[in-house]
């Protein structure tokens, strides 16, 4: 049985307000009274009830975090960053996993609203192309922040990597290493991140007067090792003279690297390879994989900071307009792409 503030007040012969203020360290309560009340609440192991607190403040200090996957280095890093940063501001995080299902995502959002969370952070599932559930969050005046896999059609804060710039940077790096026939193992057609990285790739080719050939682009929709591996085997039949490869993520790049090795290509001499997102594994394999840093830690902090900023402004207004915050990308050149070393 949990004691209430009223029980404590009665037992000590003071008002409920006095107990409440004493526990919150208000200045208009004398130090003696505070000490006396705290000693008693400690003794009876009194814990202020979170639900009573909610009924008073209408704040739950809970945040809902919806991710398409959890077993994923980048989302994992974002989650850690959000949870730790939230904790330091006295917020707790309910983590949900849509498992890349729009239906699950939709019902999870509904359930989070039922729980009266103070904010919802989401990276959408791959096949999400109806955004009513997200607009419902805004209608409910619950702060909504999209990150990484965002949706331009939703009028809310969106924290993203600069995927276009990243695709451009990776491809231009290969070109500067002397590559002229560059494969792109891209992601699925719908997600904006996958589109933007692809456009970055095209833009870099264009800038350097290398004709774009759609046959050199293969879709790896699941972003897996196996897709990278098979993708290269298929491409090489037609184009044995490819000399560069930019993959949508490191795991796909590592799969591709495995295939090239098996086919007797030397990396980076015959083919230079670069991935994206700097997974732990990328600096530990041989040759070390060049990549673009995707800073999950920074992104998580930015998401949480944006939420905190909303609390200090008129939340309702601030959440209902489209605003894009960009986390800068950074090239991490390693052995897998360094045909020349002069540039480093």
Among 24, 30, 115, 324, contact with a second copy (rule: CB under 8 A)? 115
Binding mask 128-147 for a second copy (x = CB under 8 A): --------x-----------
Check residue 308 for interaction with a second copy (CB under 8 A): no
105 vs 172, beta carbon nearer a second copy:
105
Among 14, 95, 217, 236, contact with a second copy (rule: CB under 8 A)? 95
Check residue 62 for interaction with a second copy (CB under 8 A): yes
The one segment of 5-13, 66-74, 230-238, 241-249 that binds a second copy by CB under 8 A:
66-74
Check residue 102 for interaction with a second copy (CB under 8 A): no
Check residue 83 for interaction with a second copy (CB under 8 A): yes
Burial of 144 (0-12, 13-18, 19+ CB in 10 A): buried
Helices (H) and strands (E) in the chain, counts: 13, 12
Binding mask 268-307 for a second copy (x = CB under 8 A): ------------xx--xxx---------------------
Among 221, 236, 258, 318, contact with a second copy (rule: CB under 8 A)? 258
Can you tell me the distance from the alpha carbon of 148 to that of 114, in angstroms, rounded to the nearest whole number? 25
Check residue 50 for interaction with a second copy (CB under 8 A): yes
The helix (run of H) or strand (run of E) holding residue 57 is: helix 50-57
DSSP 262-325: HTT--TTTT-EEE-SS--GGGGTSSSPPBEEE--HHHHHHHHHHHHHHHHHS-HHHHHTS-EEE
Q: What is the DSSP letter of 218?
A: E
Among 18, 41, 79, 177, contact with a second copy (rule: CB under 8 A)? 79
Least distance in angstroms from the C-beta of 259 to a second copy: 13
Check residue 214 for interaction with a second copy (CB under 8 A): no
Residue 247's alpha-carbon distances to 161, 169, 221, 228, 301, in angstroms, are 16, 13, 12, 8, 27
Can you tell me the distance from the alpha carbon of 203 to that of 207, in angstroms, rounded to the nearest whole number? 6
Among 93, 175, 204, 205, contact with a second copy (rule: CB under 8 A)? 93
- Spatial CB neighbours of 88, under 8 Å, sequence gap ≥ 6: none
Check residue 315 for interaction with a second copy (CB under 8 A): no
Decide: 172 and 204 in contact? Cβ < 8 Å.
Answer: yes
Considering only residues 217-256, where is the footprint of a second copy by CB under 8 A?
225, 254
Decide: 284 and 256 in contact? Cβ < 8 Å.
Answer: no
* Total binding residues toward a second copy, as defined by CB under 8 A: 43
Go through the chain and tell me how many residues it has: 344
> Which residues bind to a second copy, rule: CB under 8 A?
45, 47-51, 54-55, 62, 69-71, 76-77, 79-80, 83-84, 87, 92-97, 99, 104, 108, 110-111, 113-116, 136, 225, 254, 258, 280-281, 284-286
């Amino acid at each position: 049985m949990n004691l209430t503030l009223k029980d404590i007040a009665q037992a000590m012969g003071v008002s409920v307000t006095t107990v409440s203020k004493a526990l919150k360290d208000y200045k208009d309560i004398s130090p003696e009274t505070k000490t006396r009340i705290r000693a008693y609440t400690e003794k009876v192991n009194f814990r202020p009830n979170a639900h009573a607190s909610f009924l008073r403040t209408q704040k739950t200090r809970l945040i809902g975090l919806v991710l398409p996957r959890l077993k994923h280095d980048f989302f994992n890093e974002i989650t850690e960053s959000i949870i730790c940063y939230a904790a330091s501001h006295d917020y707790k995080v309910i983590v949900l996993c849509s498992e890349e299902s729009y239906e699950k995502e939709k019902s999870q959002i509904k359930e989070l609203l039922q729980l009266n969370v103070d904010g919802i952070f989401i990276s959408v599932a791959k096949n999400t192309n109806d955004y009513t559930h997200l607009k419902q969050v805004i209608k409910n005046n619950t702060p909504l922040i999209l990150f990484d896999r965002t949706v331009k059609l939703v009028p809310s804060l969106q924290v993203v990597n600069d995927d276009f710039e990243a695709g451009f940077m990776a491809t231009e790096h290969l070109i500067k290493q002397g590559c002229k026939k560059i494969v792109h193992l891209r992601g699925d057609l719908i997600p904006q991140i996958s589109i933007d990285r692809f456009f970055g790739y095209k833009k870099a080719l264009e800038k350097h007067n290398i004709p774009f050939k759609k046959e050199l682009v293969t879709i790896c929709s699941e972003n897996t090792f196996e897709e990278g591996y098979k993708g290269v085997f298929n491409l090489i039949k037609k184009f044995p003279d490819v000399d560069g490869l930019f993959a949508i993520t490191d795991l796909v790049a590592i799969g591709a690297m495995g295939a090239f090795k098996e086919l007797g290509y030397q990396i980076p001499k015959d083919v230079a390879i670069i991935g994206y997102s700097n997974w732990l594994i990328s600096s530990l394999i041989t040759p070390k994989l060049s990549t673009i840093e995707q800073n999950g830690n920074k992104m998580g902090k930015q998401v949480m900071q944006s939420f905190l900023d909303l609390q200090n402004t008129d939340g309702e207004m601030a959440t209902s307009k489209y605003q894009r915050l960009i986390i800068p990308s950074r090239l991490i050149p390693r052995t897998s792409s360094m045909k020349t070393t002069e540039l480093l």
